[in-house]
Amino acid sequence: MATAAKRYEGEDIVVLEGLEPVRKRPGMYIGGVGMAGLHHLVWEVVDNSVDEAMNGHATEISVTLHKDQHTITVADNGRGIPIDKHPKTKKSALETVLTVLHAGGKFDGDNYKTAGGLHGVGASVVNALAKQLTAVVRRGGSQYRMTFAKGKPTSKLQKLKSSVRGSGTSITFTPDPTIFPKTAFDSSVIRARLEIASFLHRGVKVVYTDETAKTKENFLHEQGIVDYLGKVLKDRKARPIHETPFTFRKDGEVRLELTLQWTESTDEHVRSYVNGIPTGNGGTHENGFRSGLNKAVRNYIDTHSLTPRGVKITHEDIREGLVSIVSVFLPEPQFQGQTKDRLNNIEMQSIVEAAMRPALEQWMNNNRSVADSIIARIIAAARARAASRAASAAVSRKGGSKRTMLPGKLSDCVSSGKGDSEIFIVEGDSAGGSAKQGRDRNSQAILPLRGKVLNTESATLKKILENKEIQDMVAALGCGIGPNLNTADLRYERVILLADADSDGHHITTLLLTFFYRHMPALIADGRLFIAVPPLYRIDLGKETHWAADEPAREKILADYTGRANPEITRFKGLGEMMPKVLWDTTLNPQTRRLVRVEIDDHLETDRVISDLMGRDASARFRFIMERAEDAEAIDV
């Protein structure tokens, strides 16, 4: 059944005046009325004070969260909002700024060369969404006050004092509970934002007072974003691969500050800011930074002929593990929306790229050892990414159940994944048998491997994934492989490689190290991979028994011996020869054994050595042997 059409005439058009649009549609101005929108009110007022500091008019900003946790005061020692009559509105400039949208001193570049708030809606939006707001201004030797409620004045501009010292603005407001479901501020959120502001504006003192917690903190960072980078690295527990970060600053109409450092992490972490405002969704300044970074690194690789064989380096490889802070200041930023989380100025991409690319290139060329460690880290990322792609394809083709079964020959410990648990990856079934009998079953797991494992440097990933011994290792460790590896899922505290002390054992250890370095590098980075050092010799000196890991250790023991009895020396052919108790006493017992933690001091050199010794190209190994042939006193065969 048809219904009569509703009358729709000119008088039905609603015109919202003043700050009514803000109260009707707050999401358009602050992104929503949840906790993020609530705290956005604070950021709008703080940004105004920061703008004063950025332009050299303020040196201190203070923020106070009052006892009720619903009221905030933001004050600065800037010039103070003007209080004289505005020629157009016929109201004081203070009232105009706080009650009229798109009113402010930032449209004219004479007062603010750079500013976070350019839309002229920040202060008025806060006023519109506040149950009550009080503005106090010190200017021209006098102090003034004006009060508001829900965007409308509740008092006239009052002159409180004369002959006051200094200048500045103080805004105190309480959010309107009819707009916001929750109006209690989160102190930790405010504190974090203020600390970041102090990093981004060197020399500006930021004071935060929490009356409920009865705390007062002063933030002042003379090194600016360099200090900030250090804090980010500490918070993320990311270990840098080079000690000194790259830092770049450029002054002028467009100011640029950035600092970066590569770490052992597997993700990229960039924090970018425009005029002190965080741009969570990036924008053209971030695009320029990434483009300049990629070009600088590639130019360095090409210049010094460091392109690796058999692997393609992508932009993701270059930026893997990168932690950086990018901060730009420009006169007329064009943000995407009032929440200002993305910069749209097209010209900023080329400006940032052109400024930072040659500077980063020069820094790398002037710091060759640092640059080489960075390139080694990038090459390792490229190899891991290639392995991951192949692994994903292999898994897709194979399909089947996702359930991971522990290998049958694994003798697990009772407390796997807890405390001081550890797994020994042992050469051979006979050695594995002795280790299983001699171990501490509560904390030590044993996984025997059959013979020499596959050389993963020379094998395709398909072949690697089909190898039974490697499958057993990955299943026993339980933490994944390649970029999907998560050390938090590792079932043991330590992974220990245990092979014979002879040349065959060293070869097996090298094969295992190659696998872990190429496909499970996070275990090395986290200090979870170890090499056990079993004895090669047993030396009986009268009633005393000594153990020697190699020939030099044997000779030292004999040189120190002054007894009359002839020493009895036994050379072990392998771990399988040892009785379980002997293996426990010499190699498994945490109180008497010797472990070597696997660490990487020079990533580029490590990558080169593994590629030369274990790769397909035999020419590098031939050169190595020929150059050192005269140094070989004996060959262990």
Angle, vertex CA 179, rays to CA 175 and CA 183, nearest 5: 40
Q: Give a three-class secondary structure readout of 389-423.
A: HHHHHHHHHHCCCCCCCCCCCCECCCCCCCCCCEE
Coil vs helix vs strand at 160: strand
In this structure, how many other beta carbons lie within 10 angstroms of the beta carbon of residue 353? 22
Quickly list DSSP for 81-104.
---SBPTTTSSBHHHHHHHSTT-S
Rounded CA-CA distance 471/465 in Å is: 7
**What residues form DSSP beta bridges with 48?**
none
Residue 174 CA to residue 591 CA, distance in Å, equals: 63
- Alpha-carbon distance of 379 to 382, in angstroms, equals 5
* HEC sequence for 420-460: CCEEEEEECHHHHHHHHHHCCCCCEEEEEECCCCCCCCCCC
Instruction: Name the one residue in this structure whose structure tokens are 């970029």.
Output: 483
Non-local (6+) Cβ contacts of 406 within 8 A are 412, 475, 476
Are the CB atoms for 572 and 535 separated by under 8 Å? Answer: yes
**Annotated catalytic sites, by residue?**
427, 500, 502, 504
Q: Which residues have a Cβ under 8 Å from the Cβ of 314 and sit 6 or more positions away?
A: 382, 385
Looking at residue 32, what DSSP letter applies?
-
